[in-house]
C-alpha cells in the first residue's frame, strides 16, 4: 500500500492538470486542487475511523471502486511496500504539474486572459 503523501500528491497533481486544462475559469483552483488530493486519500479513512473500521479496511483492500479516488487501488498495488522513492516521484509529479499550471497561467496572451475574465462570474464588491 502506497503511503498517504503519495496518494495526496498524485491526486493533487491530476486535479491540477484537470483544473488547468478543462476548467480554466474556476474561481477557487487551489482549493479544488487540495480537495482533489484529499479525494485521493479517502479510501484510507479506515485508519482513523472510529466506526466500521474493519469493514472500511476490507473495502479498501478488495474493491476495484477505490480506483475512482485517483487510482488509489492501483497505487497501492504498484507500491505494496510504502516506498519513499515512489512517494518522492509522485511529489515530483505534483511539482511539475504545478509548474505547468503556473506557466500556462502566466504565459496566456492578454486577449485570452481578458476572455476568461469576461466568461467568469463577476465578483461582488460588498
Question: How far from 19 is each of 22, 35, 97, CA to CA, in Å?
Answer: 6, 12, 11
pTM of this structure: 0.78
Using DSSP, how many helices (H) and how many strands (E) does the chain show? Answer: 6, 0
For range 58-62, the mean pLDDT: 84
Does the pLDDT value for residue 56 go beyond 70?
yes
Terminal Cα distance for the chain, rounded: 48
Whether 125 is in a domain gets the answer no
Whether 126 is in a domain gets the answer no
CB of 45 within 8 A of CB of 69? no
Whether 51 is in a domain gets the answer yes
Does the pLDDT value for residue 123 go beyond 60?
no
Q: How confident is the model at residue 107 (pLDDT cuts 50, 70, 90)?
A: low
For range 96-118, the mean pLDDT: 78
Whether 39 is in a domain gets the answer yes
Per the structure, the complete domain to which residue 94 belongs is given by 4-119
Amino acid at each position: 500500500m502506497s503511503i498517504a503523501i503519495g496518494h495526496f500528491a498524485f491526486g493533487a497533481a491530476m486535479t491540477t492538470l484537470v483544473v488547468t486544462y478543462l476548467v480554466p475559469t474556476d474561481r477557487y483552483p487551489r482549493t479544488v486542487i487540495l480537495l482533489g488530493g484529499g479525494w485521493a486519500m479517502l479510501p484510507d479513512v479506515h485508519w482513523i475511523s472510529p466506526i466500521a473500521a474493519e469493514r472500511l479496511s476490507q473495502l479498501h483492500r478488495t474493491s476495484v471502486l477505490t480506483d475512482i479516488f485517483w487510482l488509489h487501488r492501483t497505487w497501492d498495488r504498484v507500491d505494496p511496500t510504502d516506498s519513499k522513492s515512489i512517494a518522492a516521484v509522485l511529489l515530483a509529479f505534483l511539482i511539475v504539474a504545478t509548474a505547468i499550471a503556473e506557466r500556462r497561467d502566466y504565459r496566456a496572451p492578454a486577449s485570452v486572459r481578458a476572455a476568461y475574465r469576461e466568461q467568469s462570474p463577476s465578483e461582488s464588491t460588498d
